[in-house]
Amino acid sequence: MRRIPALLLCLALLIPAAPAVLAADYTDVEDHWAQASIQRSSDEMGVVQGSGGEFRPDDIMTRGELAMVLDRLFGYPDAAASEDFPTLAPDAWYTPAVLGANAAGVLLGDGGELRPEDPVTRQEAAVLLARAYGLETRAGETALPYTDAASVADWAADAVGILTARGILQGDNGALRPEDPVSRAEAVAMLDRLEAAASIQEPDAEEEIIEVEAPPGMPVTPPPASDPVTAPGTGTEPSTPPETAGTLTVFGRTLPIYANVARNTYDKSCFSKDSNGWIHYKSGNFSAPAGVDVSAWQKEIDWDRVKQAGFDFAIVRVGGRGYGSAGNTYLDSYYKQNIEGAQAAGLDVGVYFFSQAVNPAEAVEEAELLLRAIDGYDLQYPVVYDWENVNSGNSRTRNAVLSDIDTTACALAFCRRVEQAGYTPVIYFNTYIGMLCYDVSKLTAYDFWYAGYNATPGFYYDFRIWQYTSTGKVPGISGNADLNLCLRAY
């Protein structure tokens, strides 16, 4: 068990004494270059937070603080005090995290010193982050593009190279300044980029019998003996096994084909890709509406340009729940601006909630937060439940032991509450989540939004919206965008 009293001594930067505020409420991050990263690390990941209404983005981060952040992300096991580090204060707030990071091979120290109170330099941060995220480095493989590359220490060159090649570590006017200390904002930005790069997109399948490898680190839950689904106010549904029609193999698991779930019957010959990389679907007189889904990740969006480019709808993130054990809910700081901007430009709008619910009560809590937030808006597209099993060390959905019974119960609880409020619920998933984390035979009352990044969608069962890429380029949106087709219009 982690020594909580020692950790509570870290009051100012990482674990505030008062309840943490949302990034949108910090008085010192507005228009800061790292504002979006600060929001995600504070509100969503819950690993770096401010206090007293301030985040202090330009304050220097120490080695002990970075160890604490990584411990929060990866949940390092407890490590006993070591005679190798005689000067490490046994009761300091950072000691458990520093020892855990050392035992994990991340924070190694030098000459019997871990130096937890020293500022962490840019090259030290590169080494620690490369080790923490298991990035493979090979000596001399990546040339350093910086004007001061000769100043990078030999022990840090490979880590600096791999993080630079992946866009995680970025210089300033061509220089790295490897021995300069890292600010809280710089550390948060690197973590944000690493978390985005670590997101797993499972391969989809083109064949009816799906045979692909399971992603590393993803649990595969054996099929339960019975399948009751409980949701608030509904009791336990009868566990009558659904009728099946053969089997198919997904990520090494042999699964029944549910006869009560409609199959994917979209004609692959009706899909085409244009010179922009945008996919279209035209069947007879029907042309599938094209859409984007957006959140605070995209920051400012020129919705008029999006509409002029030919997009018909937008699905806007309204909020979510943090990855960590606390599971704090939050509202997306751009949701109002995105809903109103998209509708003013003439796009139809739906919304989604990024869920990390581990029980139906939490799913209902998420639905209630979303419903309060969208009260007064006229939506043309559905309200979407986006539950994802985040694959980072401190993720509550990774650490909780959830069967498909549990995740299905959460989806039903959310959708039923949304439906009661008069909206159309939809459930979002990729192949892994749709096939292994849900019992889709229990979810047939609702449409599916499928994420699969192939030339044509290969998911076995029927779905109504298809997200076909997360790296689309759209006029009016900076960086990458998720692109979608609505294959049966709302």
Domain boundary assignment for the chain: 4-198, 230-486
| Residue 315: closest CA among 386, 259, 267 | 386
**Helix (H) or strand (E) run with residue 180 in it:** none
Q: Angle at CA 177, nearest 5°, toward 171 and 178?
A: 105
Which pLDDT score, from 0 to 100, does residue 248 have? 84
What is the token pair recorded at 197? 């790069």
Taking 50 as the pLDDT cut, the residues of the chain under it are: 1-21, 199-238
Distance from the Cα of residue 386 to its chain's centroid: 10
The pair of structure tokens assigned to 196 is: 């985005």
What pLDDT shows up at residue 181? 95
| pLDDT for the residue 224 | 36
> Cβ of 470: how many Cβ atoms within 10 Å?
15
Question: Is the separation of the CB atoms in 268 and 459 below 8 Å?
Answer: no
Residue type, 204: D
CA-to-CA distance for 29 and 55, rounded, in angstroms?
7
pLDDT at residue 269 in the model: 95
Among positive and negative, which fits the CA dihedral 202, 435, 192, 6? Answer: negative
For 4-29, letters b (16+ CB in 10 Å) and e give: eebbeebeebbbbeeebbebbebeeb
Specify which residues 254 forms β-bridges with: 249
Residue whose pair of structure tokens reads 């990035």 in the numeric block: 135
**Residue 53 confidence (pLDDT):** 82
Cβ-based neighbours of 218, under 8 Å, separated by 6 or more: 200, 251, 389, 391, 432
Contact criterion met (CB below 8 Å) for 329 and 321: yes
Q: What is the CATH number of domain 230-486?
A: 3.20.20.80
Tokens of 252: 């090494």
Query: Phi and psi (nearest 5°) for 121?
Result: -80, 170
Paired with 318 in beta bridges are: none
Q: What is the pLDDT of residues 136-174, one digit of tens each?
A: 655 555 578 899 999 999 999 988 988 888 788 888 888
pLDDT at 360: 95
Can you point out the beta strands (E) in 227-382? Answer: 230-231, 235-236, 244-250, 253-258, 271-273, 279-283, 286-287, 290-294, 313-321, 329-331, 348-355
Classify 75 as helix, strand or coil.
coil
